[in-house]
Amino acid sequence: MIKTMATAKTNVIWKGNLTFEAEVNGFKFLMDTDESMGGNNRGPRPKPLLLAALSGCSGMDVASILEKMKVPPYQLQIDAEGDNSKNEPYIYENIRLIFNFTGDDLPKDKLIHAVELSVTKYCPVFAMLKKAANIKTFVNLNNEEIWNA
């Protein structure tokens, strides 16, 4: 859905201990781990950033699609949960991607269609992660599940 450049580039600089400063698209942020793992707890852990990237990528698709469908105003929160494998390197074996819509008189069919298009056609992060993990997608409307796949 969103056009991207052919080559992506990031820059990550070690800041001491287990803290790294990442630069992505001109935005800087820290990555770290908690004290029990030898870090200083100065930023998010790298692996959960994959879940955030998945949520953001798919969310951008869904918002764009719903705008084109002229869906009335809504709120959207996307939760992503990853279950670690039992053995190292502890990859996410199962991921749950949960779209939580709230609003009045929202068309269920359009919400479902937008999410389905994102996860089956448009979101490159979903396409990459599904090669490594089982991803189950849920759509909730006003705290009621209306679809899953």
Number of compact structural domains in the chain: 2
Do 39 and 89 lie in a common domain?
A: no
Supply angle C-alpha 111, 112, 117, rounded to 5: 100
How buried is residue 51: exposed, middle or buried, by Cβ count under 10 Å (0-12/13-18/19+)? buried
Do 98 and 82 reside in the same domain of the chain? yes
Which residue range(s) make up the domain with 133? 46-148
CA distance 125 to 128: 5
Identify whether residues 5 and 22 lie together within a single domain. Answer: yes
What does the pLDDT read at residue 1?
A: 56
How would you classify the pairing of strands 75-84 and 10-14? Answer: unpaired
Degrees to nearest 5, angle at CA 54 with 75 and 80: 65
Between CA 39 and CA 37 the distance in angstroms is 6
Q: Are residues 114 and 128 both part of a single domain?
A: yes
pLDDT in tens, the chain (149 residues): 566 667 999 999 999 999 999 999 999 999 999 999 999 999 999 999 999 999 999 999 999 999 999 999 999 999 999 999 999 999 999 999 999 999 999 999 999 999 999 999 999 999 999 999 999 999 999 999 999 99
Cα separation of 15 and 44, whole Å? Answer: 14
Cα–Cα distance, 105 to 90 (Å, whole number): 42
Q: Are 63 and 21 part of one and the same domain? A: no
